[in-house]
Structures are given as structure tokens and as C-alpha cells.
Amino acid sequence: MGTALDIKIKRANKVYHCGEVLSGVVVITSKDTVQHQGISLTMEGAVNLQLSAKSVGMFEAFYNSVKPIQIINSTLEMVKPGKLPSGKTEIPFEFPLLVKGNKVLYETYHGVFVNIQYTLRCDMRRSLLAKDLTKACEFIVHSQPQKGKLMPSPVDFTITPETLQNVKERALLPKFLIRGHLNSTNCIVTQPLMGELVVENAEAAIKSIELQLVRVETCGCAEGYARDATEIQNIQIADGDVCRGLPIPVYMVFPRLFTCPTLETTNFKVGGQDTDDRH
Amino acid sequence: RPPKGLLLRAENIGEFEFFSLHARIRNYTTEFESCRLEAVSLEFGDYHPLKPITVTESKTKKMSRKGSTSSTSSSSSSSVMDPLSSVLDGTDPLSLFAATADPVTAAANMDSTRKKRDKEDHLAVGSDFEPWSSKRGEILARYTTTEKLSIVSKVTTPGSAVSEKVRTRLEELDDLEEGSQKELLNLTQQDYINRIEELNQSLKDAWSSDQKVKALKIVIQCSKLLSDTTVIQFYPSKFVLITDILDTFGKLVYERILSMCVDSRVSLPDNFTPESINDTAKETCLNWFFKIASIRELIPRFYVEAAILKCNKFLSKTGISECLPRLTSMIRGIGDPLVAVCARAYLCRVGMEVAPHLKESLNKNFFDFLLTFKQIHGDTVQNQLVVQCVEIPLYLTLYSPAIDWILQCIAYRAPEGLLTEMMERCKKLGNNALLLNSVMSAFRAEFIAARSMDFIAMIKECDESGFPKHLLFRSLGLNLALADPPESDRLQILNEAWKVITKLKNPQDYINCAEVWVEYTCRHFTKREVNTVLADVIKHMTPDRAFEEAYPQLQSIIQKVITYFHDFSILFSVEKFLPFLDMFQKECVRVEVCKCIMEAFIKHQQESTKDPVILNALLHVCKTMHDSVNALTLEDEKRMLAALINGFIKMVSFGRDFEQQLSFYVEARSMFCNLEPVLVQLIHSVNQLAMETRKVMKGNHSRKTAAFVRACVAFCFITIPSLSSIFARLNLYLHSGQVALANQCLSQADAFFKAAVSLVPEVPKMINIDGKMRPSETFLLEFLCNFFSTLLIVPDHPEQGVLFLVRGLLNVIQDYTWEENCDDKIRIYTNVLHLLSAMTQETYIYHVDKVDSNDTLYGGDSKFLAEINKVCETVITQILDHLKTLGKDEALKRQSQLALYFFNTILAHGDLRNNKLNQLSVNLWNLAQKHGFADTKTMVKTLEYIKKRSKQPEMSHFAELALRLPLQSRT
């Protein structure tokens, strides 16, 4: 085996906030001494926007992907060209997470049309005979918890055949009445969504009650805005014909990587919404 | 006389004459006196080898008074008390002192240990909590099916627009592997169990090969099976099987995270705090929880999270106490009541294991269950039952394991008030038989027993179509067997219960109930009530030979009756007891029952008996056992049966009515002729009877007793030949001969001894001992020595020659084909010399009362002595010949040993003032040492002994002898 390059970030969960110092070590393991033309470390953060096929058509969607927006980019020369001894070499590094100008460090987010990703890349340049070595590693940025206490905004809801949208023949639906409440409509992303739901009555046997988490992404570009809703997570909260009149808990942990707090900038927008389904 | 040329190293042994022994004249009385141990006054010292433990204990106590050591050290040292030393504890003044030395610290110690124990109790479940593992097997055995089962992996397509990335992530969790959504249909129950076992195995494999995600997938797949209620009668078993897998998984995850916390140097204490956990471990733990939180389906999400509940300990102190209520309310989303109640049972099980002090969520689980109780009678469930053709009573029993478990968790060390509240809540619901049953099986027996009458009333009120009533009575009976109801209610309870039980039509239902209630009856009532109950059982079980299906229950009834009726005269006067036994018609079961009865008899019968009722009944029982023996019966089984029958025979005594006793033995012999150990016992018993008679007559037999004793002897004489074991026969001949001699039956004794002599040639070289073939020589040697000692006192028969029996035995020994390369024959010959020297004495060393031995008969007649000498000469020649042969065969070690053995014999029994004998002994001494095979230590000891003897009076010639015996120094 030749030389192995690895990046170890100090925090186990790889989560950092704006203004903190990202630190860690680059680990180089090799049996022999390593001749190299310099080792550098790059920290990058970028927003990638992808146009939805629905709004702009296939071709544009394929070709016209919007140019990535860079949030942060800095490079560090770790080691000058030279030799590294055989065995394991650890080179510590530190990056302050600061942005220039009026740019904002958005939270890491993996969506369909919007992607915000932060990476650390370590490059070892070598002479012509040996290949350059590269190792990339993602780290996660969370924005600072909001200042000031969030006011919970509880909401009660009722679902009947009448309240359903996009139903073709309302008359064919069996009668039912479902009541419930959510503890809050705007939630802290790190806390689970909670609430209760009561099946007051239902003519037909219930098969399943599911909770669907949907996100809305809006992309803007030259042609206008594209707004798309996609499901992130679908959680079953009732299986089978549940007891009538008994409150069933509504509970969902937000998948952190795929959700983000509602965010609006000039170019893109992400929001969340959820629905109850009944089959 | 052998030609000189053949005498190898003859010069060392000396010119051989026919040596005669020239036995030393002995005065046995004075020898006896001198040999007796010196009486030493006993001193009770402080030291006793069994006492060191108490000493260390007092030390640690003293230390704890200083307050430096912890209390645990002293308590642990006292806990390893040796049972022997605990006996000493009371009498020994030192330990008494230690025990009372410091009451204050002792009390403090007690206090702190108690506190500690209380604390432990609080954190962990005590041993009085019946663990799940004991329920497991029962459930698996009870809920079975013959229907076909299937494992279907549901394909779940997430609805609407889901990004590719999300979709793959979800599928990753849903599917085991690509294309694994196969259906396994038409599995038999066993196939199904095997399949689940396979899954369990592949879970472990996946885990050990570091495929954590695959392991999680397997677990999810498994727990999904729990949402499937087709073949509902198998559901409880399925629940057991699958939760096993979940337990495995939970343990694996916990251990893995724990291993991440261990810093290779320090291992975590059991009660670690979340602060001491490093970030990596916490992160891994969180990841598991996040992953599980995103499982789409409710049931797998619930089960998998419950399985790793314990891991919350890594994250926060309050984690478990927050999780339990959330999981509890999550179960409300499960629509099927059976699935939901099983999920509750699992949560309670995990909860009890991880945090038994969190009682609230246990209660909440039960109350939630009560809230959904009405669902059982709802349309959804009813429709399902119709489709599956399952009757309501059967369906309701499926709930029992789960409800039992939940209630057991709640009732564990719960205050009385809570139990009453629970019961009241159950009462309020319609058709509460199911709950009633669970309450009875889960709550403390004392609680139930105290309210028996209430329960009976409630059971009566129950709906006929619901939960089977006989099960309710069975549960109540089980409680009453453990705890006593109030005295005044007892008879009424039995009457009320039995009124219902006796009306049960189905024999299986009936016997299951009756079996339980028999114990209650035996416990509190007399033989009259038991008799009635037994009669009722017979009445129910006889039609259509219903008993054939109920042997285990009937057997357990018998066992319970026996446990409570130790007095067999009362037991057998229960009229229906023997008719009850007649129901056991299958032989193996009947023998089992007989064994139980006999075991109880041997264990509990204190005094010997002659009660004709007991004798008749037990003879019948023993006969049954005996008759079950056939060619295929195992040795062990035979041994056990024989031991039981022997135990019975030993307990039979007719007191002074010896004739009756003998005729009992005769009857027993005819009954138990197939079991050899029983015959041996009978012979011993008859011999004992003869000796008893002698004792009663103080040695002087009247005509009548003499005839009786002869009858006893005759019994033995004709019984012994029917035995197959040769050594049993030999020893019994000898033994019976001794008894005959003691009873002055001289000709009979002669007959026994002759029989023994003529049996010796038949002794095989190898005999079977405990299934292994072993050489018989050591046994033969032992027997012959014993035999010779007896022959000393047997008087010669007037019509046969002098020493007829000794000569006969010597001839037999001579002709016996001895093992090659073995000196046993010569050893026996040497021992014969001991006998012969004892025979030449004027008064023999021992006698049988009222029998004149040869010393009195011949009165030291010179002809008699000459006869003995002749025999001596022959024997010595044989010995010396053999020594020579050994020398020729170069078996020098054996030669040395034998020579020394012979030397010792001469030393002990010969008169060494005789020159020839003196010379012979010197030669033997030299021969023993000649080739360096003699043990120097032994030789030195022997020489010392000779020197010591020489100081005794009339033993001065030993000093000269000692001078002639050189010690060969080993080079």
C-alpha cells in the first residue's frame, strides 16, 4: 500500500456553528517516507441549485443548472514541498468559520433542488510519477440557536370528508371525523413535532394513519421562480383500526440533514409543511 | 526335592529341607493388652482445625470498630461460613465472644448492608420476580397451530413525490436486500420457527461482520412480522420468538456503545452517568435513535426503539423516564387489540429490566389497555375471527400471556391499595373473565386467597360464551394451593368450586381443574373429603377411557395426595385410593406412580409396620413394579426398583412374631424373584431374623426355636443358588454359614462352607463391575482371607478327615487357573500360614459361643499338630518353589517383594529360636535385598522393629537375628 490520507474532525458529530473554529488533524500514513510538492487544505461551502423539470422543462433542467453560489472558500498551505517521515504523521489544523462581507453561513441542507454543503478537502501534490492524493470530508454547519424564546403557536384541526382537497367524488367517501391538535405550527428544528389526534368516528375500518413531512423549495432564476414540494419523511402513527375516541400521539423527529429552518434569500427558499393522510 | 542343578542361587536361600513352620506360641490375652492404645485424657484446646474462619471474623469486626474498613468486608467474611464451623459457633467461647463483642458495630453493619440491599432492590428486580424466560417456554408450548404460516415482506411504496435520495434511504431500511420481497408461504409451524431462528442467526452474523445497517434491517423485518395477525392462534408464540431477536439486538447495540466508552484502561462502573460518556459513543447512540425514528411503519419503529431503550442511559439521566411514557402512548396507534397488548407486554418487560422503579408507565399501560378493552368485541376483531374460524373463548385466551405479564409487573411489590384499585377497575368492564383470570394469575396468592369468596362470586357471574370458566377456576385453585383462605370460608369455597367443576363436560377441562383443586382439598381437609374428590375424578374419567388422555394430571393428583398424607395407614384407608390407581393402565405410567408411592413411603414412614392394609397395598404396588421388569429394562431402572422394594422390606416387622416374619419373607421371595438385589436383601433379612432369635433366646435354643432357625438357614441355602453374581453367592454362603454356626447348626454350616469351596473354581477371571470388566483377583483374595479366618473356628466333621475344609480349599486354590505373572496364589499361601499358626495355638484367638472349635476338640493332640505341620510343609515348599521360578524368570522385583512378605510372616508367626527357620528368614532377607529392588525405607523400618521386639521378654533371640540381617546400602 502506498500513502493514505485522512481528515479527522475534532467533533464527533461534525457540527459547527458560525464563528466557531473548525479544528482537526490531517493524518498521513505511509510505510516509506513520502516525497511531496506540498499539502494544502481547502474549506468550501456552496449552495447548489437545480431547476425542477416541472417548471422549466427537461432540457433546461439538465443544462441550465444554476451556477453554484459560493458561501465560503479558503485554502491553507499546510506543509511546504518536502519529505514526510514513514509511519503516521498527524498535522493539526484550525479554520475559523467566518464569512466575508454580507454573506451568511447557511445551514447544511440536502434537498432535491437546493443543496447546501460544506466540505474540507485536503490535497497532496506530488511529483509527476506519483498521483496527487485528495481526500474530502463533509462537515455540517448549523446556525446559532435563535435568540429569544419561540412562542408556541398551538393549532387545533378537524378532518372530515368535507375538508379534504383534491377529492373527485366526495359522496363516495365514508363518513369520518378526526380531531386533533399540534403543539405548535412553527417548531424548533431540533425538537420533535408533537401533538395529538382523536378519531371521533369513522364509518369504514381504518387501515393506517400517516404523518407526512413535506418541504417546499423555491428556486429563482432568469425565467422566474420555481416552487416544488417534496416528501421528506412519512411516519405511520396508527396502524389498523384504532380505538375511537382515544387520543393518539403525533410525534415526529425531523431528519436533520433533510430539513432546515425556514429560510428565505433572494435566490432560494425552503419551508416545511405536513399533512395527515387516511386510507 | 528338586535336583540341585535347578536351584538357582541356592546358596543364598540355603539348602532346602521341608520346612515346617514351628509356630510361635502365643498368648493372645497379653498381646491384646499390650497392643491396646494408650488412653490419653482428652484436652479441649483452643485450637480446632475447623475454626479458623471464626477467628478471622473476630479480627475484621475489630477493624470495623476503628471505622477504617467498610462494612462489606466483615459481612462477606461471615457469609463464607463453613457449615461445620457454624456448628461449632455456639459452643466455642471465642466465637461467642466475637459474636457479642461489639453489638453497636454489628448493628451498624447490619443496617448498612440492609440499606445497600434496599437500594439494590430498588434498582434491580429481585429474585422473587418470575422472569420472562420462565414464561417463554410455557407460551411456546401452549400456543401452537397446524395452520400454514407465511412470512411476507410488505413492499411499501412511499407515496407522492419523493426525491430519489430519500427514496433509496427509506428503501434501504425497508428491504433486507435487493429483490428480497419474496413471500414465504405455506410454512409449517416448525418451518416458521426455523426461519425465525435463521433470521436471529443472520442478525448475529451481520453484526459480527460489522454490517450494522443490515442487522437493523433484519430487526425491522422481524418486527414487521408482528403486525401480521393471520393464524392468530399462533400469535403469542410468534411474539415470543420475535422479541427474542429484539432482545438480542438490544443487547448487541448496548454492548457496542458500551465498548466505545471503555477507554481500554478503565471500564465503566455499572451505574455510570451520561457525563462520563465520550462524544463518539454519544454520537453513535444518537444516530441509532435517529435512524430508528425514521422507520416508516409504526410497529417496527415501536419495537426497535423499545429494544434499545437501555441505550438512553448513555444520553441523559432522564432519558428512560421520558421515553417510557412516550412509547406507552405510541402503542395507542396500534389498532389490533392483540397486537397492541403484546406490544405493551414487551414494553413492560423492557421497562422492568431497565428501570423497574418507573412504575407509572406500567400502570398507564394497563389503564390504556382497559380503555381499548371494548375493541375486542368490536366489528373489526369479530370479522377477523370469522374469517379465521376462531372461536371467541379461544381468542380470549390469546391475551392471557400478555395481560398476565403486565399485571405481574404491576403487582410486583405493589402496595395492597394499588391491587385493590386495579381489581375494581377490571370489575367495571363487561365480560371481565379474561381480566379476572389474569388478575388471579398475576397478583399475590395471599391477596387472592383472602378474597376467594368474592372471586367465586365474580366467576359465577361471568358470561358463558366468553373466556372459558374452567380456566378461571383453575387459576383460583392455583392461588389457593399457595396461600390459605380464611378458616371460616374454606369448606364453602370447596363446595362452591367443586359444584362448578363437577359439571364440566369435557374430561380435559375437568381434569385440568380437578388436578389443581385436589391440592387445596388435601391441604385443608380430611380423608373423607379427599375420598369424595377422588371418587368424583374416577367417575368423570372412567367413561370412554378418558383417563388415557390425562395420565400426567392423574399422576400429579396422586403426587399431591401423597405429599399431604404421610401416614400410609390413613392413605390406604381412603377407599378410592386403590381404585384410583387402577386408572393407570399404561404400564410405564403405572410403574412411575408406584415408584412415587414407594419413595414417599420410604421417606416418610418412621416406624416399621405390620399393618395388613399397608402391607397388602404396598405388596401390590411393589409387585407391579417388579412385574414391569423385562429383558429390556435398563440396569439403572432395575437398581432403582430394587432399592425401593428393599426399602419396603426393611420397614416390615411383625415384632416378636418371627414365624410370621419368615413367612412374609418367603412370600416376598416368590413375588420378587426377578430382582437379584431384593433376593440378597431377603437373605440378609432372614439371617438377621435368625440372629434375632438367638438374641431373644440368649444363645440357648429351645427345640422350637432351633427348628425355626434351621428353617431360616434352609431358606438361605435354597435361595443363594438362584443368584447370578458369583461374589454375591460366595459372600452370602460365608455369611450364612457364620450365622448357622452361631446358631449351632453345625452340619448346615458345613454345607454352606462346602458349597462355597466348590464354588471357588467357577470364579471367572474378569467380572463386570458397573458395566466395566475388571479382574476378579482382588475380590477373590479378599474373600479367601475372610473365609480362612472363619475356618479357624469351624470344628472338623467327625466323619471327614482332619482339616477337611482347609485342605479342600487349598486343593481348589491349587487347581484354580490363576492369572499368569501374578503372585496372588502365593500371597494366599502365605496367608494360609497365618491360619495354620493360629490353629496350633492352645486356645484360639476367638470362638463362637457354644461351639467347640478344634482347640477344644483335639486339645492340642500331637497327631493333630503333626497334620498341621504337614500342611505347612507343603505350603512352604510351594512358596519357595515359586520364589525360585521367579528368579529364573528374571522377575526380580516380584521375587524381592514376595520374599519380604514371607519374611514378615515368619517374623510374626514363626518361632525363630528354631535354627532352620532362623536361617530361612536370614536367607529370605538377603534374597529380598539381593537385586536392589527392596525399598530401603521398609527394610530399615523392619530392622528397627526387630530391634525393638528384642527388648521384650523372651525375645532376646531377635537381637541375634538383627545382627545377622545386613542392610544393603544402595550405591
Q: What is the pLDDT of residues A9-33, one digit of tens each?
A: 887 777 887 778 888 888 888 888 8
- Among chain B residues, CA nearest to A204: B380
Q: Does A239 touch chain B (CB under 8 A)?
A: yes
What is the reported pLDDT for B44?
59
Cell of B175: 428491504
| Alpha helices in B412-451, H assignment, sequence order | 416-428, 433-442, 445-450
Residues A122, A161, single domain; the answer is: no
Q: Are B912 and B906 in contact (CB under 8 A)?
A: yes
Distances (CA, A) of B244 to A128, B241, B317, B884: 59, 5, 27, 78
Search chain A and give the residue with CA nearest B302. A237
Q: Please tell me the predicted confidence (pLDDT) of residue A183.
A: 79
Backbone angles phi, psi at A186, to 5 degrees: -110, 120
| Residue B737: predicted pLDDT | 95
Instruction: Tell me how far apart the alpha carbons of residues B287 and B291 are, in angstroms, rounded to a whole number.
Output: 6
A238–B372 CB contact, under 8 Å: no
CA dihedral (B463, B466, B468, B473) in degrees, to 10, reads -40
Nearest to B279 among A11, A242, A251 (CB): A11
8 Å CB contact of A241 and B378: yes
Per-residue confidence (pLDDT) for residue B665, from 0 to 100: 94
* B632 in reach of chain A (CB within 8 A): no
Whether residue B162 and residue A111 make contact (CB cut-off 8 A), yes or no, is: no
Q: In this structure, are residues B299 and B244 in contact, taking their beta carbons and an 8 Å threshold?
A: no
Q: Which residue has the higher pLDDT, A272 or B396?
A: B396
Q: Is B280 on the interface with A (CB under 8 A)?
A: yes
Chain B residues with CB under 8 Å of A277 CB are 159
Spatial neighbors of B159 by CB under 8 A, at least 6 apart, are: A212, A231, A234, A277
In sequence order, what are the beta bridge partners of A199?
A: A178
Contacts of A69 (CB under 8 A, 6+ apart): A46, A47, A49, A267
Q: Which of A93, A117, A141 is the last residue of a domain?
A: A141
- Give Cα separations from B780 to A270, A274, B765, B902, B926 (angstroms): 103, 97, 10, 20, 31
Residues present in chain B in total: 971
**Are A12 and B279 inside 8 Å of each other by CB?**
yes
Q: Cβ B335–A229 below 8 Å, yes or no?
A: no
Q: Please tell me which of the candidates A192, A246, A255 has its beta carbon nearest to residue B371.
A: A246
Chain A interface mutation, best of B294, B315, B387, highest count of A Cβ atoms under 10 Å: B294
Q: Which three cell numbers stand for residue A272?
A: 416545511
Predicted confidence at residue B266, as pLDDT, reads 60
Three-state secondary structure call for residue B838: helix
Task: Give B 213-232 residues with CB within 8 A of chain A.
Answer: 227
Do residues A137 and A177 share a domain?
Answer: no
Min Cα distance B335 → chain A (Å) is 4
Could you please report the per-residue DSSP string of A28-79? EEESS-EEES-EEEEEEEEEEE---HHHH-HHHHHH-PPPPEEEEEEEEEEE
Question: What's the order of all strands across the beta sheet hosting A4-9?
Answer: A4-9, A21-30, A87-96
Domains in chain B: boundaries: 913-970
pLDDT of residue B658: 92
CA distance B149 to B145: 9
Residue B121, C-beta contacts closer than 8 angstroms, at least 6 positions apart:
none
Give CA–CA dist A219/A231, Å, rounded.
Answer: 17
- Which stretches in chain B have pLDDT values below 50? 1-17, 52-93, 95-123, 153-163, 170, 172-182, 971
Residue A163 lies in a domain: yes
Question: Is B380 within 8 Å of A241 when comparing Cβ atoms?
Answer: yes
Tell me if chain A has a CB within 8 Å of the CB of B499: no
Which chain B residues are closer than 8 Å to A241 by Cβ?
335-336, 375, 378, 380
How far is A40 from chain B, CA to nearest CA, in Å? 27
Helix axis angle for B726-742 and B676-696, nearest 10°, is: 10
Domain-embedded: residue A64: yes
Of B170, B279, B372, the CB nearest to A243: B372
Report residue A271's pLDDT band, with 50, 70 and 90 as the boundaries. Answer: very low
Partner-chain contact B333 A237, CB within 8 Å:
yes
Residue A26 phi/psi, 5-degree rounding, is -100, 130
pLDDT for res B87: 45
Pairing of strands A15-17, A133-142: parallel
- Rounded to an integer, what distance in angstroms lies between the CA atom of residue B483 and that of residue B447? 9
- pLDDT: which is higher, A148 or B70: A148
B165 contacts A13? CB cut-off 8 A: no
- How far apart, in whole angstroms, are the C-alpha atoms of residue A29 and residue A38? 16
Residue B920 and residue B19 in contact, taking contact as beta carbons nearer than 8 Å? yes
Contact B333 A242 (CB under 8 A): yes
CA dihedral A79, A83, A86, A89 (to 10 degrees): -10
* pLDDT for A265: 45
Q: Is A249 close to B296, i.e. CB distance below 8 A?
A: no
Check residue B163 and give its pLDDT.
Answer: 46
ipTM over 0.95: no
> Does residue A279 lie in a domain region?
no
* Residue A133 shares a structural domain with residue A19: yes
Q: Given the DSSP bridges, would you call strands A21-30 and A69-79 parallel, antiparallel or unpaired? A: unpaired
| Helices marked H in B483-550 | 490-501, 507-524, 527-541
User: Which whole-number Å values give the CA distances from B25 to A130, B339, B924, in the listed order?
Assistant: 112, 98, 22
pTM as predicted = 0.62
Q: How far apart are CA B422 and CA B438, in angstroms?
A: 11
In a domain, A136, yes or no: yes
**Cα separation values, B680 from B748, B749, B786, B853, Å:** 19, 19, 19, 29
Task: Report which secondary-structure segment, H or E, holds B261.
Answer: helix B235-261
C-alpha cell at B151: 412470512
Is there a single domain that holds both residue A11 and residue A132? yes
| Residue where a domain terminates, one of A141, A175, A203 | A141
Residues with Cβ < 8 Å from B732, sequence gap 6 or more? B680, B683, B716, B720, B723
Spatial contact of B903 and B925, defined as CB atoms under 8 Å apart: yes
Decide if A189 touches B, using CB distance below 8 A.
Answer: no
What is the domain-level CATH number for residue A253? 2.60.40.640
pLDDT reported for residue B752: 94
Cβ within 8 Å, pair A230-B166: yes
Contacts of B296 in chain A (CB under 8 A): 234-236
Instruction: Judge whether B532 is closer than 8 Å to chain A, CB to CB.
Output: no
From CA B625, how far away is CA B863, in angstroms rounded? Answer: 59
The answer to whether residues A205 and A243 belong to one domain is yes
Mutate to test the interface with B, among A208, A248, A279 (most CBs of B within 10 A): A248
Contact criterion met (CB < 8 Å) for B329 and A249: yes
pLDDT over 70 percentage in chain B: 82
**Which cell numbers hold the place of B813?**
486354590
Report the SS3 class of residue A15: strand
8 Å CB contact of B380 and A240: yes
**Dihedrals φ, ψ of A178, to 5°?**
-120, 130
In chain A, positions 65-124, which contact chain B (CB-CB < 8 Å)?
A: 110-112
Contact A232 B166 (CB under 8 A): yes
Contact A242 B301 (CB under 8 A): no
pLDDT-derived band at A262 (thresholds 50, 70, 90) equals low
- Any domain includes A253: yes
A12: cell is 464527533
List A87's β-bridge partners, or say none.
A30
The set of cell numbers assigned to A250 is: 403525533
Per the listing, cell 455456639 goes with: B90
DSSP state of B915: H
Q: Please name the residue of chain B whose CA is at the shortest distance from the CA of residue A205.
A: B380
Domain holding A241, by residue range, is 155-272
For residue B279, the chain A residue with the least C-alpha distance is A12
| Together in a domain, A134 and A159 | no
Nearest to B332 among A111, A205, A249 (CB): A249
Are both A73 and A186 inside the same structural domain?
Answer: no
Residues A132 and A179 placed together within one structural domain of the fold: no
- Same domain, residue pair A178 and A98: no
User: Which cell goes with B967?
Assistant: 542392610
Residues A66 and A114 in one domain: yes
Nearest to B160 among A13, A231, A255 (CB): A231
In this structure, are A131 and A30 located in the same domain? yes
**Could you tell me which residues come within 8 angstroms of residue B376 by beta carbon, excluding any fewer than 6 positions away?**
B337, B396, B399
* pLDDT tens for each residue of A186-228: 667 777 788 888 888 887 778 888 887 777 776 655 555 666 7
A110 and A185 part of one domain: no
The number of folded domains in chain A is 2
Q: With CB atoms and an 8 Å threshold, state whether A12 touches B290.
A: no
Residue A105 has pLDDT above 60, yes or no: yes
pLDDT number for residue B60: 39
Contacting residues of B for A11, CB less than 8 Å apart:
279
How many other C-beta atoms lie within 10 A of the C-beta of residue A164?
Answer: 11
Contact B298 A238 (CB under 8 A): yes
A146 in a structural domain: no
Q: What is the pLDDT of residue B714?
A: 94
How far is B872 from B875, CA to CA, in rounded Å? 5
Spatial distance between the Cα atoms of B517 and B493, rounded to a whole number of angstroms: 11
Strand residues in B96-179 grouped as ranges (E): 149-152
In angstroms and rounded to an integer, the radius of gyration of the C-alpha atoms of chain B is 42
> Of B330, B334, B371, which has the smallest distance from its Cβ to A240's Cβ?
B334
- Quick one: which of B636, B566, B622 has its CA closest to B594? B622
Mutate to test the interface with A, among B299, B334, B377, B429 (most CBs of A within 10 A): B334
| CB of B157 less than 8 A from some CB of A | no
Are A20 and A99 a contacting pair, CB within 8 Å? no
What separation in angstroms does the CA of B208 have from each of B99, B201, B204, B959? 54, 11, 6, 84
